[in-house]
């Protein structure tokens, strides 16, 4: 199932990148196909990025499916969240051109979720991912807003969004995670303080990001204790610790 999801995601990601490139290059001449956007070049470029991200998820899923131990449930859910988010967002960026890649990515996400749900530890994994996924929402908001900002603010916004996402990935390394969180959240909010939106997003990022880091440490601590007590039963549930 994961292998099929990986292929679907790779195919969907490739088509998404093509759709984005078409919108960026010819969006003005075929507005009925690209959602009649005011700035098809920008949105097309963003869509290419989204397609590459989805393709990368698909590639990772394919590799994970080939490994004997499979992929950790938490990472499967994270991949499903990314595929689902890209699958939905694309409908607002390139219009009709998304009618093929979008459903492919959503189908891939559905397959991955089905596989994760089949496992016994899906609930626990989802709880583990819940706060990072929520923190990713305002981080993605940064990326969205950066797409319309002036060059300096846009750079701060893109860097900020990516830094916050990176902080979530390394959230168990507390100092690095906090450093990335602060470096990601603050510059864009300071540069565009007058917008109201970015300072509010920064506060949400810092609060939810802090909770994610604290939760990750607490979970890691609990996991190490569990491994010490019952390493045999712990091992299959999360291959990260193998």
Q: Which residues bind other proteins (CB under 8 A)?
A: 38-39, 120-121, 124, 127-128, 130-131, 134-135, 137-138, 140-142, 144-145, 147-150, 153, 157, 192, 194-198, 200-201, 204, 207-208, 211, 219, 222-223, 225-226, 228-230, 233-234, 237-238
Nearer Cβ to other proteins (29/38):
38
| Cβ at position 106, least distance to other proteins in Å | 19
| Cβ at position 6, least distance to other proteins in Å | 26
| Cβ at position 204, least distance to other proteins in Å | 4
Nearer Cβ to other proteins (7/241):
241
Nearer Cβ to other proteins (3/226):
226
| Cβ at position 161, least distance to other proteins in Å | 10
Contacts of 168 (CB under 8 A, 6+ apart): 132, 135, 136, 139, 177, 209, 212
Contacts of 206 (CB under 8 A, 6+ apart): 181, 182, 185
Residue (of 133, 223, 135, 144) closest to 180 by Cα position: 135
Residue (of 51, 114, 123) closest to 80 by Cα position: 114
Contacts of 64 (CB under 8 A, 6+ apart): 2, 6, 70, 71, 75, 76
| Cβ at position 206, least distance to other proteins in Å | 12
Reading phi first (left if > 0) and then psi (alpha if -120 to 50, else beta), residue 35 is in: left
Nearer Cβ to other proteins (60/142):
142
């Amino acid at each position: 199932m994961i292998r099929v999801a990986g292929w679907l995601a790779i195919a969907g990601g490739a088509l998404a990148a093509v759709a984005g490139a078409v919108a960026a290059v010819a969006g003005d001449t075929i507005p009925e196909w690209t959602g009649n956007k005011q700035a098809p070049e920008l949105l097309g470029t963003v869509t290419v990025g989204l397609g590459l991200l989805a393709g990368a998820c698909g590639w990772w899923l394919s590799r994970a499916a080939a490994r004997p131990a499979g992929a950790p449930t938490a990472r499967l859910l994270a991949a499903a969240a990314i595929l689902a988010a890209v699958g939905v967002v694309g409908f607002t960026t390139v219009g009709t051109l998304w009618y093929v890649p979008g459903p492919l990515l959503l189908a891939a996400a559905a397959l991955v979720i089905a596989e994760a749900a089949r496992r016994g530890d899906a609930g626990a994994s989802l709880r583990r991912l819940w706060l990072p996924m929520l923190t990713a929402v305002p981080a993605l908001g940064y990326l969205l807003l950066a797409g319309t900002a002036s060059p300096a603010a846009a750079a701060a916004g893109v860097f900020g969004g990516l830094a916050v996402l990176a902080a979530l990935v390394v959230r168990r390394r507390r100092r690095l995670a906090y450093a990335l969180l602060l470096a990601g959240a603050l510059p864009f909010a300071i540069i565009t303080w007058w917008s109201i939106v970015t300072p509010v997003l920064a506060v949400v990022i810092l609060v939810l990001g802090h909770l994610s880091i604290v939760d990750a440490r607490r979970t890691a601590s609990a996991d190490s204790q569990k491994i010490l007590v019952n390493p045999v039963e712990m091992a299959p549930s999360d291959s990260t610790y193998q």
